Amino acid sequence: MDKYSERLTGFMQALGCMNDAANRVSDYFVVKLEESESIFTSLAMYHSALTDKFPAAYWHPKLKTCTNELFMDTVELWFFEHQDMQLLPRPLKQRLLSTFKDDFTVMAGNAQLFTLITSPPIWYGSLHDEFVIDSPYGRYLVHFSCHD
């Protein structure tokens, strides 16, 4: 893990813990994908590392171009999904989002953002949202999920 994805993952995991409840656990992280000739090859290597029971093609990955606004809207939904987190004062929420966005910008620079759409062949969470970041500094997977 590189220092940028490690820092963001720590930040995201802290917020994920604050969204946990008695009947669910949140899982938020950033992974630097392996370098390869294409995003799909990088994703295939990542998916192959998750399970050796199914070929990477069984994930059926599709990429849809994503705007920064849509990405940050999704981040906000995941960061403040639990009712207790929704009660935080607006200035604190804005500060948390601003900190994430600043650190994300340092990691990704002027990146292309994609929503990753998959059909996982294994248990992968009750709900999940994933993004692929294709930046001058590497490719990253941003993952949000919850498990019942």
CB 111, CB 133: distance < 8 Å: yes
CA angle 89, 90, 92 (to 5 degrees): 70
Q: List per-residue pLDDT tens for the chain, 148 residues long.
A: 688 889 889 999 998 888 887 677 889 999 999 999 999 999 999 999 998 888 899 999 999 999 999 999 999 999 998 888 889 999 999 999 999 999 999 988 889 999 999 988 887 777 899 999 999 989 999 999 988 7
Confidence at residue 1, expressed as pLDDT on a 0 to 100 scale: 66
CA-CA distances (angstroms) from residue 76 to 66, 101, 144?
Answer: 15, 11, 11
Confidence at residue 22, expressed as pLDDT on a 0 to 100 scale: 62
Confidence at residue 126, expressed as pLDDT on a 0 to 100 scale: 78
